[in-house]
Amino acid sequence: MKMTRKQLYRRIEQAEPGEIATLEAKIATCPWRQSYHIQPVTGLLNDPNGFSFYEGYYHLFYQWFPLGTEHGMKYWYHTRSSNLVDWENVGIAIEPGTPYDSHGAYSGSAIEKDGKLNLIYTGNTRDENWIRHPFQCLAFMDEKNVVTKFEHPVISDVPPGYTEHFRDPKVWLHEDVYYGVIGAQRTDETGCTVLYRSADLKHWQFLGEIITTLTAYGYMWECPDYLELEGHGVLIFSPQGIPAESDRYQNIYQSGYLIGEPLNLETREFIHGKFDELDRGFDFYAPQTMQSPDGRRILVAWMGLPDLAYPTDESGWAHCLTIPRQLSIRGGKLIQQPVPEMAQLRKDQQGIMAQDSLRNGSRSFTGLNGIAYELQCEISDNDADLVGIEFRASDTEKTVIQYDRLQRKLMLDRSQSGAPLPEANGVIRTCALNEGMDADALIKLHLFVDSSSVEIFVNDGQEVFTSRIFPSRDSTDIRFFAHGGKADFRAVMWKV
């Protein structure tokens, strides 16, 4: 039963007696709790926030509604890790409740200054007519993880020309000056990103819009993130209201990027190429990046989408985050690869190796099965019409990643993955693969499978498919197949 507005906008201390214990009991029996992904202790997780490195730890916060699986009163929940792999739940970092975040602490970012981690976020408020009034707020976290809010908003007003959809500040330091981008909606209901500048993180000057060629591209740009990588400027954002176009933009909302010359911080001009999606799967949104101490650019995203239902809703929790991904640029494209630290999860350092040539059939191998694992597969000498892998499979369930050699397209099919999802979530996602490559070229598939998800990195990160799946616990088989011809398979797997 859906909550009322009053129930959705309760603070955690306003929970009914036994309400949280009931949620925890439901969650404890859920077969889809993840093994190695960040997930909420109760309730709903969404956008990653404040991804940063401070005092020897990677810190990652996320949007959290603790009392249910709908979007309600949002907190920042804090996790941390020394290695990007083993995440420790620290607890609530930012609680809503001041006049400037009375209806939720919304998304934002973090940056170290003066020995503290500065957390910059959107405070959500609503008036008596339920009209939204956003404030950009500041809080400070010390080395003991104690968070103190700055007493006033650092940006109190929405500039003329924009609606109250004005949120998700992402801040960086450039030549001793702080800059920030905010996702915005113009009064003509088109989306954009605006730019601010500050000397101290407390006083901000509005500079104007980042000038792109996408002048009417969706109705809102959420979670913008500007970074510079390998001499290029990269603007990542999540536009809402982009219509589907062949295989592209099939999700309810998109996440993607523009690559170009470094942003001109004086003129705000950004010379860039086409908008490209970051992920070809079903469940990927609101990505955020950070720069690690060794200079790598690392991305994490919400493995889910707004306004959709998922099977775990009935168990009192919803959503998780992706594994951390290292970014690079190859051929004008943003490449995502699992951070090398993920290898620390491998329980059998030797793995289980299998190699075979298949013609018009499928095959499984002793030892290659499981619920949570990492799998690397190379497909070569391929003249088959269809080649691929069925995983989390049984007699009645399977998730399929397959390559159609004639169309040169890769497809993820979750139509038989287990518990069904609503029609709006979709069951098939497809993308063209290496448009310039030979039809029988080597295909690399790198899968990270967990109890209720899969992340598939294709050809060293050229494409990624991220998806939630909800199979039964006894769907553990892995089957390799070639139909309409022959292909060679080489695979190695590690339980995690």
* pLDDT confidence of residue 143: 97
Tokens of 433: 């693969």
Average pLDDT over residues 303-307: 96
11-38 per-position pLDDT tens digit: 999 999 999 999 999 999 999 999 999 9
Please state the CATH superfamily assignment of the domain spanning residues 5-342 in this structure: Glycosyl hydrolase domain; family 43 (2.115.10.20)
Q: Is the pLDDT of residue 350 over 80?
A: no
Q: What is the 3-state secondary structure (H, E, C) of 19-78?
A: HHHHHHHHHHCCCCCCCCCCCCCCEEEEEEEEEEEECCEEEEEEEEECCCCCCCCCEEEE
| Structural domain spans, the chain | 5-342, 346-495
Question: 36 vs 25, 58, 268, 296, 371, CA distance in Å?
Answer: 20, 16, 40, 22, 12
Q: Is the pLDDT of residue 439 over 70?
A: no
- Dihedral angle computed from the Cα positions of residues 173, 174, 179 and 184, in that order, rounded to the nearest 10 degrees: -110
Nearest to 217 by CA among 237, 246, 195: 237
Q: Is the pLDDT of residue 425 over 80?
A: yes
What is the pLDDT confidence band of residue 408, given thresholds at 50, 70 and 90?
A: very high
* pLDDT confidence of residue 373: 97
What is the pLDDT confidence band of residue 197, given thresholds at 50, 70 and 90?
A: very high
d(CA 457, CA 464): 5
Average pLDDT over residues 132-136: 97
Other beta carbons within 10 angstroms of residue 150's beta carbon come to 16
* pLDDT confidence of residue 407: 93
Q: Do domains 5-342 and 346-495 have the same CATH topology?
A: no
Pairing outcome for strands 43-54 and 317-318: parallel
206-251 per-position pLDDT tens digit: 999 999 999 999 999 999 999 999 999 999 999 999 999 999 999 9
Tokens of 188: 């003509």
Average pLDDT over residues 421-438: 85
Nearest to 57 by CA among 110, 120, 121, 105: 110
Yes or no: say if 140 and 156 are a contact pair by the CB < 8 Å rule. Answer: no
Return the percentage of the chain with pLDDT > 70, whole number.
99
Question: 287 vs 176, 300, 386, 402, CA distance in Å?
Answer: 26, 6, 32, 26
3-state secondary structure of 91: strand
* pLDDT confidence of residue 441: 83
Yes or no: say if 492 and 362 are a contact pair by the CB < 8 Å rule. Answer: no
35-85 per-position pLDDT tens digit: 999 999 999 999 999 999 999 999 999 999 999 999 999 999 999 999 999
Q: Is the pLDDT of residue 253 over 70?
A: yes
Average pLDDT over residues 165-173: 98
Catalytic residues: 47
Q: Is the pLDDT of residue 435 over 90?
A: no
Maximum average pLDDT range among 1-5, 244-248, 351-355: 244-248
Q: Is the pLDDT of residue 463 over 70?
A: yes
* pLDDT confidence of residue 469: 98
Yes or no: say if 380 and 439 are a contact pair by the CB < 8 Å rule. Answer: no
CATH tag, 346-495: 2.60.120.560
Average pLDDT over residues 242-268: 97
